[in-house]
Structure 1
Amino acid sequence: MGVTKIHTKKRGRRTTYYSYFDSVQAFNDFVDNKATALNIHNRERLKNMNEATASAISAGSSWYGSPSPKDVSELNEHRYFLGMELLRTIQPKIKDKLEQYIKLMGNQILSKPKVAYNDRGLGVFSFDRAAMGLYRLQPTGSKNPIENTISQLQIELDSSNKTTAVKSVFAYFKDRKSSYPALSLYLMAGGNARVKGDELLYVGLACAELVEFMEIRGVAVEVNTLLGTSFKGNVAMGVIRIKRFQDRLDKNQLLLMTSDPRYFRYRGFKALIGLSDHFGLNIPDGLGSLKANMGKDFVKEIGEKQERYAVFEQSYSINAAVNEVTQIIKDYTQQINKK
């Protein structure tokens, strides 16, 4: 594993340390490797955390989600979000709420491109449209015995003997613009010590809806998680890429990093210790704290001037999460309309 580059920004008495990770896997590998090479102070912090975690599990704590972990090792090996079945009930609620907000916003947002059809093979074949005029070709007399045999086989195999009266069966987005500026999204992990149940999922699923909304309109979207802490005038932050501009969004990895207490409340804390050690800092007993608007302040500090970005702080109600999404959409639309 190569050396992870350290970046720094100084402002007054505050120093911000941060590193980029190209994937969740790369970040997890970094954390595990770092845990084996901590300085004496940070090694003690990790030891204390492991002891406190083991004690909480033995006491039957529900802090790590359901089902309760058997031991610390199970938490340490946790790599996938276990509550994907919750998406079937929660995501439709967020989608419906977002649609209500979007209707109220009217022309303040990017318009959705209309689907059109053509018969020139341009776009994606639509079977549903072709099926509207589907019919079976009737066999006709062939010129010779071989052609008769082939025709009979095709009929028996139910192949090559169907066509459709609808010729425009290739779907494409009409008047879809491809020149919209790309958008980088950042989601701040953590800050959920008192949050339980479905509320943890709102920010992650709201982000997923935003990605879908933008990409349908031709906007390339990158998604990153911010995991960090602050103490003694220092900010320690890891920037973990969840989705590259050209990739599909992996909702499991998004929810793991942003909405999973089983992950954050052990591996997330372990990561804070590892990041601090990587930056040459001794993390305090409480592992530091998250300040208000810490994600927005961080991205503003490190971001390129020309970059279009948006930051999700943690939102633990549907209305708050959807409000963040609609505000991001509105701000982006206003920015591109100024050009």
Structure 2
Amino acid sequence: MLQAFIKDDFKNLLEYQAWVNESMDHLNRNKHQRQAFSEKVIKDVIMYQPSWFGKGTTYEELKSGITTFKNPALIDKIYNKVNDKVTVNVRQQIKSKKVNFNAMGLGVFIFDRAAMGMFRLKEYYSLIHDLVVDSSAVRKVKNKYSLISDGTEVIERWEQQDNGMPKIRTTSKNVYAYFPKRDREKRSVEIYLSIGGSSEVDADDFIYSGVSAIIVAQLLEHAHISTKISIVVGTSPDNFKKSVFASIVPIKNFDESIDVNLLALLSSDPRFYRYDGFKGVVSTYEHFNATVPDDMGYGFNHRNNLKATIENSTYTASAKLAPNRIYMGRIFSEQEAIADIESTIKQLAETINS
């Protein structure tokens, strides 16, 4: 069995970056790697290999910690190109969660459902006594009303609540909606996203991995399926034969909405991967008292490597995983992105809709 050395106790990006910086300042076994991230080396890379981090990158922004995707317009451009080519048939494969309705106040009040049978009633109100009276206690003479008991004036009005607001009734009783807990847990999804790419990959092409994940996550969100997304930063020193070292950083928790900027940044910004990511690889090996290979080891270039790390390793026995897990990342073209989205949705549909 593949032995997976995984650090997965990060709450967010900032916590990961703080840990990486602290670790790099106190390297022991891998202290020789610190030189690769020195100001001189990084500035030389920026000058002589501008496509490595992307044009316009500065050492100062890398050192301070990247928190915003550099080119939002690129996200929109690639997202629109890929999203337009995802067919309606693919989008409709994942069915929305079944909603249960009740009249007991369990869940969220659905106004539209209540409005279908909405109506109001009249009531009799005594001005002198400041109270609502029963119709049997009222005498009507022509268009005027009075109390039979003492002859004082009564008016007819629309029903009101104690606070003076209109009282609305509805014939629709089951106006509260909720998703059964068992159904929610059964359909929950975890997306593990491998970030980065080899040295031959141009900086701008990193975006396709992020766009694929964004579209899949949005389709799941639209279907009201609880989804968690995490990036996996790490390598294997022996091409996934015996061991792998990685850190898992959450991008989106089950109860959170999609942060497109954060997802694009961590999955598709070469500044993050080739600086914070590489430092993270070194830090992870150091954390487990192992020596990182000089070439940083074998990355998660294939989805099967990422899947093996999570599913077929020592990690699975101790981790609490969602019942549905998918593996994405390292996609560098429009065609690959569309194919990946279609295959991912098909895979999920087969398990979630069953």
Q: TM-score, normalising length from structure 2?
A: 0.68
Matched, 1:294 2:305: yes
Match of 2:81 among 83, 86, 93: 93
Aligned equivalent of 1:63, options 52, 57, 62: 52
1:52 Cα deviation from its structure 2 partner:
3.3
Whether 2:58 is the aligned partner of 1:52: answer no
**Aligned letter for 1:285?**
D
Contact 2:235 2:299 in 1 (8 A): yes
Summarize the Cα distance change of 1:60–1:182 in structure 2 as closer, same or farther, 3 Å threshold. Answer: closer
2-structure distance, mates of 1:313, 1:87: 16
Letter aligned with residue 267 of structure 1 = D
The aligned residue for residue 265 of structure 2 is 256
How big is each residue's C-alpha offset from its partner over 1:20-79, in whole Å with a ceiling of 9 and x where there is no partner? 12211111111011111110x41111213435323223436331112132x3x4312222
Cα distance in structure 2, aligned partners of 1:306 and 1:240: 16
The structural deviation recorded for 1:175 is: 11
2:337 aligned with 1:321: yes
Distance 1:25 1:270 in 2: 14
Q: Percent identity?
A: 22
- List aligned pairs for 1:97-176, cutoff 5 A: 97-98=85-86, 100=87, 102-103=88-89, 105=90, 109-111=93-95, 122-123=109-110
Check conservation: 2:53, 2:203, Cα contact below 8 A.
no
**Cα distance in 2, alignment partners of residues 305 and 33 from structure 1:** 29
User: Contact 1:23–1:240 at 8 Å: present in 2 too?
Assistant: yes
Candidates 208, 214, 236, aligned match of 2:214:
208
Question: What SS does the aligned partner of 1:97 have?
Answer: coil
Contact 1:295 1:313 in 2 (8 A): no
Corresponding residue for residue 63 of structure 2: 76
305 and 64 in structure 1: CA distance in 2 versus 1, 3 angstrom threshold: closer
TM norm structure 1: 0.71
Separation of aligned partners in 1, 2:79 and 2:343: 19
Alignment of 1:228-243 (within 5 A): 228-232=234-238, 233-243=242-252
Larger Rg: 2
User: Which amino acid is the alignment partner of residue 23 of structure 2?
Assistant: K
Matched, 1:27 2:16: yes
Distance in 1 of aligned mates of 2:111 and 2:193: 33
Structure 1 stretches lacking a partner, 5+ long: 1-10, 114-120, 126-171
- Answer whether contact 2:221 2:227 (CA < 8 A) is retained: yes
Deviation at 1:176, TM superposition (A): 8.8
Equivalent-residue separation in structure 2 for 1:319 and 1:176 (angstroms): 36
Residues 220 and 284 (structure 1 numbering): CA distance in 2 closer, same or farther, change over 3 Å? same
Q: Partner of 1:161 in structure 2?
A: none
Between stretches 292-301 and 206-215, larger displacement belongs to: 292-301
8 Å CA contact 2:191, 2:230 repeated in 1: yes
C-alpha RMSD of matched pairs (Å): 3.3
Distance 1:106 1:177, change over 3 A: farther
Letter in 2 for 1:297: A
> Across the two proteins, how many residue pairs are aligned to each other?
273
Q: 1:60 to 1:326 in 2, by over 3 A?
A: closer
Partners of 1:60 and 1:32 lie apart in 2 by 24
Gaps of 5+ in 2: 98-107, 113-174
Structure 1 residue 224 and structure 2 residue 230: aligned? yes
The Cα offsets for residues 202-246 of structure 1, whole Å up to 9 and x where unpaired, read as 111121111111111121110000010111543110011000011
Contact 1:177–1:217 (CA under 8 A) maintained in structure 2? no
Structure 2 vs 1, CA of residues 66 and 235 (structure 1 numbering), >3 Å: closer, same or farther? same
Letter in 2 for 1:67: G
Question: C-alpha separation between the residues in 2 aligned to 1:305 and 1:239?
Answer: 13
